[in-house]
Structure 1
Amino acid sequence: MKIMHLSDLHLGKNLNGFSLYEDQRHIHKQILQIAKEEAIDAVMIAGDVFDKSVPTNQAIQLFDEFLTSWAELHLPVFIISGNHDSAQRVAFGANLFKDNNIFISPIYDGKISHITLKDEHGNINFYLLPFIKPAIVRSYFPDEEITSYNQAVKVALKQISLNPNERNILIAHQFVTGAYTCDSEEIIVGGIDNVDAQLFQDFDYVALGHLHTPQNVLNEKIRYCGTLLKYSFSEANQEKTVTILNFPQKNKLTIYEKKLSFLHDMRKLKGSYAELTLKSNYEQTNTDDYLAITLTDEEDIPDAINRLRSIYPNIMQLTYDNLRTKTVQNIETTDIANLKTPLNLFEELYYKQNNQNLNDNQIDILQELIQDIWEEK
């Protein structure tokens, strides 16, 4: 069985004031063509179908086009909701979609839905786990200790009874420990949304969504496929791909990627105004790409962005890098993974104010408050 792994469509996304509607339509046509050429048997979409929990009419229309196109191929499609999605909106009409082999995860209710497909080598089970928070899981398992995302996922997965003799795939949308991030992703400060990859070891493959860079976590069977488009200039040098699983039998999994091309690539340019407007420097390039331009001129160019847009119409960012800007004091940033947790910061403040540490009861109360605050975001 050959299975396509997709995630983080972010339908309806606007970037620096530019609509990506046509870019998303363009890339979807490519994916459909790849599915035909590769003789794909099933498709997984691991969350963040929409860019916002209340999607625009245009985003909903685009999703409708996507579903209709997949239904016409008569392929099973498995979809879960992500942290950007409203689980209720994504799951709307799920029972009707089943008739067209489109399976959408229901709102989490303490159970993880699963669908079983069969081929000549037996069953292959797809488990659909939408994005979950500790408070959601805790409401169904009040007797369990659930104060972190890791504990929430652990409790949720305990409800699954896996058949170790069959192929088992989990589709999930969480931040798994050991993965790396880029600027277009939303990661909670302090890392309290981390989920330990070891929780997934009993599955034959874990199709992850949430992070935008294609990558494996621990090993190739726990994988983020990444986004289909570039959603920040930190991704400018990335190749975007589609992940495909060839999974003929238990313990015989191979993974490969198919490269995607863009309607508009995302690139960075740097140079003086004279260099960037010299015809010989741009005539062999795609000037319609989405660009972040850095000018090196010592003096500001009057109305630079509009003058440059006569050549590069899709400039998203314009900055200067010269002696003047280099003397401006910059605030030093720290890797988000190394930031102190909210609890650590409060403990330090409490000690400085009271010259004593928090007691265990105070720490428990604080942890509950912090968790509740983060979950409401």
Structure 2
Amino acid sequence: MKVLHVSDLHIGKRVNGMSMLDDQRYILRQILDIAKKHQVSVLLIAGDVYDKASPSAEAVTVFDAFLTDAVAAGLRVLAIPGNHDSAERIAYAQGLLEKQGVCLPPVYAGAVERVELEDEHGPVEFWLLPFLKPGDVRRFFPDGEIGDDYSAALRAVLGACTIDQGKRNVVLSHQLVTAYGTAPDRADDEIKLGGMDNVDVSVYDAFDYVALGHVHRPQRVGRDTVRYSGSPLKYSFSEARYGKSVALVELGEKKPGDDVGECVSFELIPLVPLHDVREVRGTLADVLAMGAAASGSLADAGVLAGGISNGKAAGGVDDEAGALGGEGEGPAAADGVCDKVTLGNGSRDGAAAVRDASQDYLHITLSDEHPQLDAMAKIHEVFPNAMMLDYDNVTVLVDRPQTQLTADPDSMDTLDLFGAFYESQVGNSLDDEQRGFARKLIAKVEDSAAKGPDGQEEGAQ
């Protein structure tokens, strides 16, 4: 039986105020294309279907279309709610959907939903464990010592399941899972997920494959068959240097005496976004030149969609650095935790061969010594989807002691007063060119102020 493991769709999410719905429609179609190509039987969605507990009508429509297409493709869909979801809303119409091959578990009430499917090697038990907190569990195990311990809560929940070790067992779970006290590799904006909410990986020792959600980077936790699929899209710039993928899992025959997970093999299939998320650094002139080079096809530069260049691993921006001036490096692989997505034999599943990099979502850091006039407007002419603009000297500006004004402001003309203000903010005096520009601008402003609303001379007030 072939299973496709995805999670953290976050349908309806906005990144820096920009809707990601078009990108999500694109990547969801790609996931279905991969499922069809590899003759997948079951699609697992390990939580965070939506980005909000009360998703927008547009987000619900996107997921509805995705489920409809998945069922039409002959897939069984098994999904659980994550911490971003409302378990009650996810479970809506579950009776009707189950008849169509879509299982969305009911709100947890003391028992874990189980779905049994069969292939040529016999039954496979799928356990649908929604995102749970100790408070969701304690009342069902009054004699257990759960307290605020997430591991104890999940251990109690799964310990109450009747698991037949002679069968292949798969569990879907949406939690922060740690191995040997080590947390999974997370994006910078996910660090807040840490703390007391971690679940020890040993809780899942009875399961051949553990389909995890909650962390956005694809990786194993403790053993190869306990893994996060990661989100299908990059939802922050802290994820810019990491490739995205789906986990294609094959459940083979489980023989008597086999170790847990021995019947499982898997492959990571790269995902290619409609727009990549990248970080770019350089002077404004450099960035504008990059935009001119990036417009249209980048086939000649060897830059492929999804941060994959010339058959290299999909490490993100690092693979594009030569052509686009990006910075970064591929994912770390400490303890084999973080997976580097590779292209087998140069193939690209469900993806266009070349991405128009000028349309990517960018965080641009300018290294110019001084702030540039209308920098973002100029950047948008060549990178229309640029989202963020910073200067690399911001820290210097913030930390630099401000120059004290020793002269009496009332005795200074407008140009000198502006020059003093500029020096206090930037730390440098106006050069001759800047001073000449400021003089002309001040003259225009003073001339305009000296005229009334109808443009007639009335004298400056």
Partner of 1:197: 201
Deviation of the 1:186 alpha carbon:
6.5
Q: Which structure has the larger Rg over C-alpha atoms? A: 2
Structure 1 residue 295 corresponds to structure 2 residue 366: yes
Partner of 2:433: none
SS at match of 2:66: helix
Deviations along 1:150-185, one digit per CA (max 9) or x if unpaired, are 111111111111111100001000000131211343
Shift in alpha-carbon separation, 1:280–1:58, aligned structure 2, 3 A: closer
Q: Which amino acid is 2:287 matched to? A: L
**Mapped partners of 2:282, 2:67: distance in 1:** 44
CA contact (8 A) 1:275 1:281 kept: no
Structure 1 residue 234 corresponds to structure 2 residue 305: no
CA contact (8 A) 1:292 1:318 kept: yes
TM-score (norm 1): 0.84
Q: What residue ranges of structure 1 are gaps of 5+ in the alignment?
A: 331-377
> Bigger relative contact order, structure 1 or 2, given CA contacts below 8 A and separation 6+?
1
CA contact (8 A) 2:46 2:173 kept: yes
Partner of 1:168: 169
Deviation of the 1:329 alpha carbon:
4.0
For residue 395 of structure 2, the aligned residue among 309, 314, 325 is 325
Structure 1 residue 57 corresponds to structure 2 residue 57: yes
Q: Percent identity?
A: 42
Deviation of the 1:304 alpha carbon:
1.3
Partner of 2:187: 182
Matches within 5 A, 1:1-377: 1-147=1-147, 148-177=149-178, 178=182, 179-185=184-190, 187-188=192-193, 191-250=195-254, 251-278=262-289, 281-283=293-295, 284=298, 286-322=357-393, 325-326=395-396, 328-329=398-399
**Mapped partners of 1:186, 1:306: distance in 2:** 33
Q: Which amino acid is 2:155 matched to? A: K
Q: What residue ranges of structure 2 are gaps of 5+ in the alignment?
A: 255-261, 299-355, 401-461
**Mapped partners of 1:259, 1:184: distance in 2:** 23
Runs of 4+ more than 2 Å apart = 183-189, 278-285, 324-330
How large is the Cα RMSD of the aligned pairs? 1.5
CA contact (8 A) 1:264 1:288 kept: yes
CA contact (8 A) 2:176 2:193 kept: no
Q: Which amino acid is 1:71 matched to? A: V
TM-score (norm 2): 0.69
CA contact (8 A) 1:215 1:226 kept: yes
**Mapped partners of 2:60, 2:191: distance in 1:** 22
Deviation of the 1:237 alpha carbon:
1.3
**Mapped partners of 2:191, 2:122: distance in 1:** 39
SS at match of 1:287: helix
Q: Which amino acid is 1:253 matched to? A: V
Deviations along 1:241-293, one digit per CA (max 9) or x if unpaired, are 11011112123211101111111001111110111112664444611100000
